[in-house]
Amino acid sequence: MRRLTTILFLLSLSASILFAQTYEPLEMKSGGMLGARNLRFILNWAYLENDIGDTSVFDFGLDFGISPAVELQNRISYLSSGDSDYEWEEWTELLKFKLGKVLNGPAYALGTGLRIPVHKYESLGLIAGLYISSAIKDIDFDFNLGFEPIYLTYADLGGGMKVRPNSLLNINLRLGYKFTPFLKLAGGFELNQLLEGKRKIKENDHETTETISGGSAWNFIFGARVKPIDYPIVVDCSLSLGASKRSPYDWRIKIGVQLQPQSPNAEW
């Protein structure tokens, strides 16, 4: 952790690009802002496999720049696991606040919001995050420190079981290299540290509460981004590999498209 902190500090000292009016990383969030009265449309598709089976997910997003320093992000997923029908899941509402620039370079932002249940086995939860982005010539980085500290409701799993999910500490780091004026290659990792959760089991009108143990989940991510010059769109693809037993998947492929009609040459 000390080594990671040192790397981020050195990148911050050397950075020379202030991120403003940016596209979001495929797997993370940028420290830059969308810009006042600007829109960002997002459509992602992912396919993953784990011990349970395969899952297909469509992610829809609509972001709006309320002001130069405030951005509203809306996300919702349409998901199918195995042979089940597609269902709406994982609706989140997030406000991102600009913290300003430091040393004429890195962009810092804070995020706060809600994870809103749209299915009976989802729980209402709080979201918080710190997002940092910067660049040195053709190399850029994004660093996210996220926290979902409180789940406010129990999700009903049926069969007399209700679960309040584990709180989540999330660390993401992505390094990108602009290989050509329209192609960027990237790599990074995601660490999800699960804290303790709770579950209630009701049998014969008798209810017991149990603790769900925590643990670490590592994922390694490799990706590419294409940006047609002078067009307000980027196309992403990535391959993620689960590197620990608690990873939510063994492997995942993801393809995404982002459109910013008012910002054809935003930082990408």
Mode of pairing for the β-strands spanning 54-67 and 39-49: antiparallel
Short-list 163, 255, 169, CA closest to 217: 169
Chain centroid to Cα 254, Å, comes to 13
- For the chain, the domains span 2-259
Angstrom distance (rounded) from CA 187 to CA 268 = 15
**By the 8 A CB rule, do 120 and 97 touch?**
no
Residue type, 161: M
Give me the pLDDT at residue 76, please. Answer: 97
Kindly report whether the global pTM for this prediction surpasses the value 0.85. yes
Coil, strand, or helix at residue 148?
strand
Cβ pair 108, 134 in contact under 8 A? no
pLDDT band at 14 (very low <50, low <70, confident <90, very high): very low
Q: What is the pLDDT of residues 157-183, one digit of tens each?
A: 888 889 988 889 999 999 999 999 999
Strands 161-164 and 155-158: antiparallel
Closest-CA residue to 215 (of 251, 155, 166, 252): 166
Kindly indicate the confidence band of residue 84, based on its pLDDT and cuts at 50, 70 and 90. Answer: confident
Reference 40, options 59, 62, 21; nearest CA is: 62
CA distances from 131 to 32, 111, 212, 222, 239 (A): 8, 8, 29, 20, 22
- pLDDT tens per residue, range 218-249: 999 999 999 999 999 999 999 999 998 888 89
**Per DSSP, what are the bridge partners of residue 193?**
169, 216
pLDDT tens digits, residue range 104-154? 568 899 999 999 999 888 999 999 999 999 888 899 999 999 999 889 999
Class of domain 2-259: mainly beta
Q: Please tell me the distance from the alpha carbon of residue 22 to that of residue 44, in angstroms, as a whole number.
A: 17
pLDDT tens sequence across 197-222: 888 888 777 888 888 888 899 999 99
Q: How far apart are CA 38 and CA 78, in angstroms?
A: 25
